[in-house]
Amino acid sequence: MLTGFISKASFEFSTNCKNAYYEVMNLRLDLARQYIEKERALNPANSMVYLIENYIDYFYILASDNKIEFDKLKKNKSIRLSKISADSKDSPYYLFAQAEINLQWSLLRGRYQEYVTSALEIKRAYNMLQENTEKYPEFLPNYKGLGMLNAVIGSLPSGAQKALGTLGVRGGTEKGERMLEELVDNLPGSTYDIFYDESVFYLSQVWVNITKEKDAFDKIITATERLDDTSLLKVYIRAYAAYKTGHNGAAISYLMNRPTKSGYTDYPYLDYLLGMAKLNKLDLSAAVQLHDFLQSTRGASLIKDTYLHLAYIAILKGDEVKYNTFITKVKKEGASFDEKDKQAINEASEGEPNPALLRARFLFDGGYYDKAKEILNNENANTYKEKRYKIEYCYRFGRVFHETGGMAGAIKFYNYTIAFGEHSKYYYAANAAVLLGDIYMRRKQYKQAADSYNKAINMKNHDYESSIENKAKEGLKRVEGRF
């Protein structure tokens, strides 16, 4: 056991530091700062303070999405690393703390498109954690950052992976997922139990965003049972997982019942998420939460996307004047760091959506597949004057069949989508080809899968081109040598 290392004066996970870290995980950042100041006064030589301070900055920027604050606070990184690197090397926290600070800033920089610096920080974090694991294999916190790094690196486009490979950094998504899963299993009751909440946070992001784990929602609910019910991070983890996995009603419930007492850091994204979840249920009072988000956010991300969805609510209400007002704001307000904002600009330039298809789209995103199918069944695509409506109709029907197990219907409508839309600027045909490839892959029809993936790659100049092409290339890797 490595318990003795924790009591070293230079890296002491003291009561104040533990309390501060605990409050960071609950997203009560002001309270965390108070504990850190107490520790600084009692034990000014404790380098653990610098690591916890970085956690506070990391979660503050995640919650606020404020680039101005990001640009201001990132200057703290070198100061903290300098203090830590001058301390005792005879602690597992020596390399771990430096690696965590590099990892946290690399993830934030990726959010604001500082890709070169982010890659260098990933390299430093990766190398430090690898070295620390060799020196202290029983120091469980090592595997939190290493697991996340492996999962993220393994999910990057092949070009980015090759670039990191030249720096000696190689990762695998399955390896990272497995590492985090084992860590979450082993932390409870261990010396390092305090890192459980953060490890679950990372693992939930991997399950939902990277590996698309089939039972992600159920697994996340089980894994988060141990988290404090007063934790706003617990609300986010559960609500986000529910929203992304078709458990829309649960997402609304978690967000509507989140803790609201003073002391929590402002987290405008939760208003955005609640608005989007309500819209997926076709509850048009979602506009209230979307306006709340616009009023409270201090960042520039998701503003374009929010105005786009306010425009869509106006269409569903039959208010064309408001629709045009909001579409103008999509083009003028906010920034385009986020992929959703980039797509919002594209959609805003395409003209008014078809209201029936829009309803089907939202219901599908919320997991209300039968209701979405009912709307589509009541539509006659032959009456559509615009070709893009016909393409979207086929795509949406294919998606509904796919999610409800009707693979014959999914194949038919995906092929219709490709036939109608492979030369259009819309993403429907290219994504349909990838999804078709996935169906053939599961059926072990590898030649047909490869043909579908290649078809997706060959479609150019459409929305989401880069991400769809990367998915297709990953699909080709899986079928390579099988036919």
Do 320 and 397 lie in one domain? The reply is no
Structure token digits, residue 310: 């306010």
pTM comes to 0.91
Q: Decide: 47 and 66 in contact? Cβ < 8 Å.
A: no
Q: Is residue 85 part of a domain?
A: yes
Q: Is residue 38 part of a domain?
A: yes
Q: Decide: 435 and 398 in contact? Cβ < 8 Å.
A: yes
Structure token digits, residue 402: 């796919």
Asked if the model's pLDDT at residue 38 lies above 60, the reply is yes
Q: Is residue 267 part of a domain?
A: no
Do 31 and 144 lie in one domain? The reply is yes
Residue 214: band (very low, low, confident or very high) from pLDDT cuts 50, 70, 90: confident
Do 72 and 95 lie in one domain? The reply is yes
Do 331 and 368 lie in one domain? The reply is no
Q: What is the CATH number of the domain that holds 140?
A: 1.25.40
Name the residue range of residue 442's domain: 354-483
Q: Is residue 125 part of a domain?
A: yes
Q: Is residue 273 part of a domain?
A: no
Residue 95's Cα: distance from chain center in Å? 27
Residue 3: band (very low, low, confident or very high) from pLDDT cuts 50, 70, 90: very low
Do 366 and 420 lie in one domain? The reply is yes
Do 10 and 134 lie in one domain? The reply is yes
Asked if the model's pLDDT at residue 5 lies above 70, the reply is no
Q: Is residue 42 part of a domain?
A: yes
Average pLDDT over residues 235-264: 95
Do 233 and 333 lie in one domain? The reply is no
Do 326 and 379 lie in one domain? The reply is no
Q: What is the CATH number of the domain that holds 478?
A: 1.25.40.10
Q: Is residue 206 part of a domain?
A: yes
As a whole number of angstroms, the distance between CA 148 and CA 206 comes to: 8
Do 319 and 379 lie in one domain? The reply is no
Q: Give 266's DSSP letter.
A: P
pLDDT in tens, 362-404: 999 999 999 999 999 999 998 998 999 999 999 999 999 999 9
Do 421 and 336 lie in one domain? The reply is no
% residues pLDDT > 90 (the chain): 81
Number of folded domains in the chain? 3
Answer with the one of 204, 232, 247 that is the final residue of a domain: 247
pLDDT of residue 7: 40
The Cα-based distances of 137 to 2, 102, 143, 146 in angstroms read: 10, 21, 9, 12
Answer with the one of 321, 352, 383 that is the final residue of a domain: 352
As a whole number of angstroms, the distance between CA 106 and CA 241 comes to: 24
Site of tokens 């979660």: 59
Q: Is residue 258 part of a domain?
A: no
First-to-last C-alpha distance (Å) of the chain? 50
Do 236 and 314 lie in one domain? The reply is no
As a whole number of angstroms, the distance between CA 17 and CA 39 comes to: 7
What is the number of other CB atoms lying within 10 angstroms of the CB of residue 296? 15
pLDDT in tens, 125-162: 999 999 999 999 999 999 999 999 999 888 776 777 77
Do 56 and 192 lie in one domain? The reply is yes
